[in-house]
Structure 1
C-alpha cells in the first residue's frame, strides 16, 4: 500500500519492460499551443513503440497561463522553477531514465532555469539532449546574461538539437558546437489525400494562431484593405492591442481557441495561408497548412524558409505590408498556387511525418546513450571543466 508521500506514476515494471526510458522536460496544457501538442503527440507515439516517456511539465503558470499577452511575474517564475526542479529530481529517482530530452524556449528566465535542470541531470550521470525550440538569436536578443547561460546550457548538452537553419548557425558561432536540425512533426492522417481544389481566384486568406502584433496581425489587417473582395480570416485568441485596430469589413477575427477539426476545415477552405510573424522557431500552424496543400506567404524567419524553400510559397520581410500585397498578387494565378500546393504536400510527406521525425530522434537517443556508456566519465569531466 502506498504511503501519502510515495511518488505516483506508472508501476516500476512498466519502466523495466520498455526498450528505452526517456525523461522529457517539456510543457503540457494548459495553456494550449504548438509545443504542448508536440509533447502530447510525442508521449503517445512513444507509448505505441514500447518507449517509456515520462514528462516533467515546464509549462507557464500564473497570469501567462490564462491571459494572452500577460507579463511575466517574478514570483510565478520562481515558483515555477522550484516546482520543475523538484519534479525533475523525483522523476529521475522514480523512472531512472536512459536520457533526458530538455525542450528549451530560450526565454530570458527560462534559459537560466533550463541550465539548472541540465546541471541536475548531469550530476546524476544521465545524458541530456537539449532541444532549442525557438529561433535562438531572437530569444537571446543581444542580452549578455542570456548569451552567457545559453553557452553554459549548450556546453552541458550531450547533443544539441535545433528547429531551423539560423539557430544551427547561431549554435556553431556562439557555442562552437555542432547541432542537428530536428523539425516538428505532423500525423500522417492530417495530410490531404487528394490534390487540393484550387479556386480561379484568391477568395480566402487565412492566419491561424494567437492573433498578436508579434505575429504580424497589424500587417494582415493593413494588407486586407488592398483586397476588398477577399476575406481575411484570423483564427485564434486575439490580443487586446489587435482587437482595438480599425479593421476593414473583409477582416474576420474568430477570437477564440479553434478546435483542431475546425482548423482543418478552415485550411481546406483557404486559398492562401498568410503567416507574417516577426519571429518563429518552427510553426506548427504553417506545417498544418502545408499538409492541407495551402500555398504559403510567410516572413523569412526561423524555419519558414527551410519549410517552403523557394517552391511552396513566397517569403516577405517582417513588418512589410507592401511585400504581403505584392506576394498576394504574384500568386493570384491558379496555376501558380496549384504548383505550390502540390509541392507543400510532397514536402510534408518527405520530411515531417511523425514516424520519420520520431525515428530520427530515437536514433539520436541511441547514439547519445551508447556514447555515455562508453565515454561517460570523460564527457562529465569535459562538462565540469567548461561550466
Structure 2
C-alpha cells in the first residue's frame, strides 16, 4: 500500500503559464490519491480561506519570474514549522527565494525536492546562451536539493557538467491527461467554415518566435484558406497586434485560462506550430499532440526528442523563416500527411508523455 504523505508544494497559481498547469495537475492528483497537500504560492495577502493554502508575499510577478518580498522567507519557514510536512516539493519559478529553499528546509529537518523545467538550447544563439547562464546560476543551488526532477537526458547531462550529481537527478518528462486532451469535435472550428486552422498556444515573448511565424505565414503563397490562431499573451502582444492586427487570416484570442476552451481550440486545429528559439519540454505541445494536432516545432530543448522518428515536422531554430514556410505549405497541401502526423502525435503522447506515467514516479521519489 502506498504510504500517505503530507506534502508542502511550492508553485504558481498566477499568472497563467506552464508552471501553473504543472502545479495544478500534480497537486490535484496527489490529493486524489490520499496525500495531504499544502500549496505555497506568491499572491496578495489574505486572498484565500483555504486552510491548505499558504500565501507568500511578493513585490512583482510575471509569467517569467517573481520577485519575493523581504519577508517571504520567514513566512515560508514559519508555515513549514507549523505544518511539519514529510517533504517539500518546489516547482522552481525563477525567483530569488529558490536559492534559499534548501537551507530553509534543511534547517527544519525537512527533505526537499524540486522540479527544474527551465528552457534551454544547446546552440550558441542569444536565447540559448542566456538559458545556459541561468542553468549555471542555478546549478550550485540544485546540488543542495535532496532530489531534482527534470524532463530529459539532455538536461541531465547539462546539469552534470555543471556539478549537479546524477545521483539526485531523476528524469520524469512532462505529462498531460490523455483522458482530457483527446481528439474530438470542435465548436471553435465552426467559426471558420471551409478553412484549415493552424494554432500557436503559449506566451507571446521574443524567445517564442511569434514574429517569425507570422512573417512565414503571411509570405507563403497558397495559404488563403488558412486561419492562423494565436492563443496567449505576453510582452510582445501589443507590438505584434499593432503590426499584424489587421490581417484577416489571423485571430488573436489573448490568454485563455479555461481549459475546456483551450482543448476545443486544439481539437479544431489542423496544425499546431511552436517556433521557439528556446524551450524546456512544452506542455502546450504535448496538449496539442494529445488532441491529435499535427505538429511543426523547432528542435530546441526536448521538443525535438518528443517529435523524433517522424512524429512531427522538426525545423532548425536558426532557419525558421525558410523551413517554416516549406512546412506550412507541405501540411496545407497534403491531408494524408496531416492525418498521419495526427495519428503519430496522439500515439506518442499516450505511450510516453501521459500524466499517469509521470505520477507513478512522484510518490516513489517523495518516499525515497
Shift of 1:324: 0.6
Aligned pairs for 1:321-340 (under 5 A) are 321-331=321-331, 332-340=333-341
Q: Say whether residues 1:180 and 2:170 are aligned partners.
A: yes
Cα deviation, 1:75-105, whole Å, max 9, x if unaligned, reads x8251x532x223212321221222212224
Find the partner of 1:237 among 211, 233, 237: 233
Aligned residues of 1:295 and 1:341 also touching (Cα < 8 A): yes
The CA distance in 2 between the partners of 1:140 and 1:51, in whole Å, is 40
Residue aligning to 2:277: 278
Shift of 1:228: 2.8
Shift of 1:141: 2.3
> CA distance change for structure 1 residues 122 and 209 in 2, over 3 Å: closer, same or farther?
same
Residue aligning to 1:353: 354
Residue aligning to 1:40: 24
In the comparison of the two structures, how many residue pairs are matched? Answer: 333
Q: Say whether residues 1:21 and 2:21 are aligned partners.
A: no
Give 3-state SS (helix, strand or coil) of 1:254's partner. Answer: strand
The CA distance in 1 between the partners of 2:356 and 2:97, in whole Å, is 31
More strand by share: 2
More helix by share: 1
Aligned residues of 1:135 and 1:163 also touching (Cα < 8 A): no
Q: Say whether residues 1:91 and 2:79 are aligned partners.
A: yes
Aligned residues of 2:120 and 2:278 also touching (Cα < 8 A): no
Give 3-state SS (helix, strand or coil) of 2:292's partner. Answer: coil
Residue aligning to 2:49: none
Q: Say whether residues 1:249 and 2:248 are aligned partners.
A: yes
Shift of 1:177: 1.8
The CA distance in 2 between the partners of 1:89 and 1:129, in whole Å, is 16
Residue aligning to 1:124: 108
The CA distance in 1 between the partners of 2:91 and 2:211, in whole Å, is 30
Aligned residues of 1:134 and 1:163 also touching (Cα < 8 A): no
With 319-328 and 287-296 compared, the bigger mean Cα shift is at 319-328
Q: Say whether residues 1:206 and 2:199 are aligned partners.
A: yes
The CA distance in 2 between the partners of 1:140 and 1:125, in whole Å, is 37
Residue aligning to 1:156: 144
Aligned residues of 2:16 and 2:257 also touching (Cα < 8 A): no
> CA distance change for structure 1 residues 182 and 256 in 2, over 3 Å: closer, same or farther?
same
Cα deviation, 1:329-372, whole Å, max 9, x if unaligned, reads 333422222222112112222222222211111122222xxxxx
Mark the runs of 5 or more structure 2 residues left unpaired by the alignment. Answer: 44-56, 122-126
Aligned residues of 1:25 and 1:55 also touching (Cα < 8 A): yes
Shift of 1:176: 4.3
Shift of 1:214: 2.3
> CA distance change for structure 1 residues 77 and 116 in 2, over 3 Å: closer, same or farther?
same
Larger CA Rg, structure 1 vs 2: 1
The CA distance in 1 between the partners of 2:132 and 2:271, in whole Å, is 37
Residue aligning to 2:124: none
TM-score by length of 1: 0.77
The CA distance in 1 between the partners of 2:253 and 2:118, in whole Å, is 26
Residue aligning to 1:133: 117
Find the partner of 2:89 among 74, 97, 101: 101
Aligned residues of 1:25 and 1:58 also touching (Cα < 8 A): no
